[in-house]
Every structure is written in C-alpha cells, then in structure tokens.
C-alpha cells in the first residue's frame, strides 16, 4: 500500500518579530531567490499533494525556513519539504505592518499611466499636484470613509473607477450605472458618497458606461477588495488605509502629474 504523504494545511496568521536587518528593508525589496534544487523539490511536493495550487513563483519569506508561494489568488507559505501549506499573513510585531499585504501590493504594482482615465470620474482639488486612482464600490462603507478623507485634502486629483462588488453589495452594479449615467456623474458621485443623495434611476446603460469594462480590468489587475488605491509610482494599497499610513504613502509620491484626461467637474469590501 502506497504511503500517503503527511500534509497539513494551516489557516492562521503568523505574528513574527523578524530580524532587525529584514524589517529595515522596504516591503518592495526583491525576495531572495531559492537554490534551484530547493525550488524544484518544493514545487514537486506541492504539485503532488496540492495539484490545484497554481505556483507562479517561490521566494524566501521574512521567516527562516518558511518560503513564499505566489499564486494568482494571493500569497501562501510552505516549508522546505512542502509538508505544510500556510494560508495566512505575516505581521511584524515591531512595526505592526502586515508584511504579506505589503508584499502582495509591491508584486502587483502597475503602470499608472496605462489606466483608462477616460473611464474614470475625475475630481480635482486645488492645483492637483498629486494624483491617485481609486477602484471603488458605491455601496462600500470603507469607500465612503475614504471619500470623506479625500474631501479634506488639497492639491490632489482623484480618478475614481467604478468597481461594484455585486456579490458583497447586492445592488452596487445598478447604483454604479446610475452614477455614471447621471447628468453630472462627478457631482453625483460626491453627493452619493458624502451626503447619501441617490442619483436618478437609470433604466438602461447609457452611452459610454464603462462599468462592465472596468470589471474586466479589475479582474486583470487582481483587485479583490474596495477601495483599492493606486499611486503614481504604480504602488497599490488594498483596503482602507489608516490616515497616517495614507499620508505617508502620499508624501512618498513626488512624481509630476500624468497627462491622462477624463471627465471633469465632476477596510475594504
């Protein structure tokens, strides 16, 4: 009788105090490459025991003896023998940073200028010295909270891409259509998110309605939560950041504005 390999899946959050030298590095720093023989053996073990796991890349993790698995669905971890699969997050107890989220955001940065700005709601405040793009669900409470924070900022341009998560917020797709098809969808977005004033009902999709296209774009960009914010550097921030963290990320963005044009005046789920 063939021996069944010992395999355990752990669903947990790893809370680790990583070595000082490791925590000093930026989350976007490239992960260490594995020796070819080690990578091959881990891949072989996981392929045999978890055939449904698509392993795109393998890297060292912040924890000694634990290796990072990058798949289309996110980041997981395993040991050198592929004996255990850890689906969870690594938190740094010194900085309180979620290293798994930081790593995923860094690995999934984008070319900011490639975004379809003509399909966004463009909001300009002040001299618009800074730019961000936000994929937002009109029924997402965290998106509403972010919108309230953005309303306090000066000198920023916000490109809002309507990204309803219908499975999480039933009715969000219809509300997204209504907001885009409003006479002034910029004002309509602001009134809805900040004041709760609903736009007029939209019976049909209006000309140029980008909601379906943005759903496909979001899937290609692996956007799984709203709000998801992209900065000019291409860095992403998934979910609602803490105010101090958002301020830090904005301060780090010093690149000049892009030439993307769109309609003017106008914790995440």
At 203, list the tokens.
């019976």
Of how many residues is the chain composed? 269
Give the pairing of strands 121-125 and 156-162: antiparallel
- 174 Cβ partners below 8 Å, 6+ apart? 202
**In the 8-state DSSP scheme, what is residue 260?**
-
One pLDDT digit (tens) per residue for the chain, 269 residues: 333 333 333 434 444 443 333 322 333 334 458 999 999 999 999 999 999 999 999 999 999 999 999 988 889 999 999 999 999 999 999 988 889 888 888 888 899 999 999 999 999 988 777 999 999 999 999 999 999 999 999 889 999 999 999 999 999 999 999 999 998 999 999 999 999 999 888 666 788 899 999 999 999 998 989 999 999 999 999 899 988 889 888 888 854 444 343 332 225 55
Tens-digit pLDDT profile for residues 174-232: 999 999 999 899 999 999 999 999 988 866 678 889 999 999 999 999 898 999 999 99
Domain range annotation of the chain: 8-107, 112-251
Q: Report the C-alpha gap between 153 and 132 in whole angstroms.
A: 12
Cβ neighbourhood burial of 191 (10 Å; 0-12, 13-18, 19+): middle
- Partners of 161 in the β-ladder: 135
Return all residues near 4 (Cβ < 8 A) that are at least 6 apart: none
Question: Do the two domains 8-107 and 112-251 of this chain adopt the same fold?
Answer: no
Using alpha carbons only, what angle is made at residue 220 by residues 216 and 222, rounded to the nearest 5 degrees?
115
**Rounded Cα distance, 263 and 269, in Å:** 26
Write the DSSP symbol of residue 114: G
Under CATH, which architecture does the 112-251 domain have? 3-Layer(aba) Sandwich (3.40)
Q: Which CATH class is domain 8-107?
A: alpha beta
């Amino acid at each position: 009788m063939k021996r069944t390999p010992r395999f355990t899946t752990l669903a947990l959050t790893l809370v680790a105090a990583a070595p000082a030298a490791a925590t000093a590095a930026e989350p976007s720093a490239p992960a260490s490459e594995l020796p070819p023989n080690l990578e091959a053996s881990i891949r072989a073990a996981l392929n045999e025991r978890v055939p449904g796991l698509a392993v795109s890349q393998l890297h060292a993790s912040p924890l000694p003896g634990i290796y990072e698995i990058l798949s289309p669905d996110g980041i997981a971890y395993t040991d050198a023998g592929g004996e255990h699969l850890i689906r969870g997050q690594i938190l740094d107890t010194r900085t309180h940073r979620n290293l798994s989220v930081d790593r995923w955001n860094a690995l999934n940065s984008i070319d900011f200028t490639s975004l379809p700005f003509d399909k966004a709601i463009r909001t300009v405040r002040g001299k618009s010295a800074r730019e961000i793009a936000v994929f937002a669900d009109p029924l997402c409470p965290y998106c509403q909270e972010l919108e309230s924070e953005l309303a306090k900022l000066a000198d920023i341009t916000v490109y809002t891409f309507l990204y309803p998560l219908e499975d999480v917020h039933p009715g969000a797709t219809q509300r997204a259509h209504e907001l885009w098809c409003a006479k002034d969808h910029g004002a309509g977005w602001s009134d809805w998110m900040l004041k709760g004033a609903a736009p007029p009902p939209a019976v049909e999709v209006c000309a140029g309605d980008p909601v379906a296209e943005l759903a496909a774009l979001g899937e290609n960009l692996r956007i799984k939560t709203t709000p998801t914010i992209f900065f000019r550097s291409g860095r992403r921030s998934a979910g609602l950041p803490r105010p101090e963290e958002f301020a830090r990320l904005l301060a780090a963005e010093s690149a000049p504005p892009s030439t993307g044009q769109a309609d003017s005046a106008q914790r995440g789920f």
